[in-house]
Amino acid sequence: MTSTLDDGARAAPAVERPERRERNVLQSMVRGSLNRCPHCGKGKLFKGYLTTNYACSACGEEFHHHRADDAPPYFTITLVGHIIIPALLAVEMLYRPALWIHMALWLPLTLILSLVFLRPIKGALVGLQWALFMHGFDPLSGEDEPHPDPADLLK
């Protein structure tokens, strides 16, 4: 389907865009938190500890344009704080241990919980962005057009 402009030149054919269907938010967040593609649930979301794959190896859904930014650490700190602080206060009120015992117990536990929760929280946030058509995950949006894979430029 081409159209003719006023000076007789032909315009580019209209690009057909895929249909925008509803996406299951909870399912995509759970898939993301389990290191799976929020679209198909088969391919891996992460290639490193927090580095997302360029695209899903199973269905081809692109992840490179996600914008999780500072949200995963923020939610991780909030969650870990809500676990550690009540536990610390309970131990202090019940046993009143020395300060060095608190430090030996709570600092490593805080670090370990932060590292354990950070990746699933980032995966859930990428899944949420995908389900809500945010930051380039909308097939009908011209915003955030995908960029070529930088690795292809090296070939």
DSSP for the chain?
---B-TTSPBPPPPPP--------HHHHHHHHHTTB-TTTS-SBSBSSSSPBPSB-TTT--B-TT---TTHHHHHHHHHHHHHHHHHHHHHHHHH---HHHHHHHHHHHHHHHHHHHHHHHHHHHHHHHHHTT-TT--TT--TTPPPPPHHHHT-
* 145 assigned to some structural domain: no
pTM of the model: 0.78
Domain annotation covers residue 77: yes
Domain of residue 113 covers 25-138
Asked, for residue 10, whether it belongs to a domain, the answer is no
pLDDT of residue 118: 98
Q: What is the pLDDT of residues 48-90, one digit of tens each?
A: 999 999 999 999 999 988 889 899 999 999 999 999 999 999 9
Confirm whether 80 is domain-assigned. yes
Q: Is residue 1 part of a domain?
A: no
Please tell me the predicted confidence (pLDDT) of residue 21.
80
Percent of the chain with pLDDT over 70: 81
Q: Tell me, what's the pLDDT at 16?
A: 46
| Arithmetic mean of pLDDT, 96-108 | 97
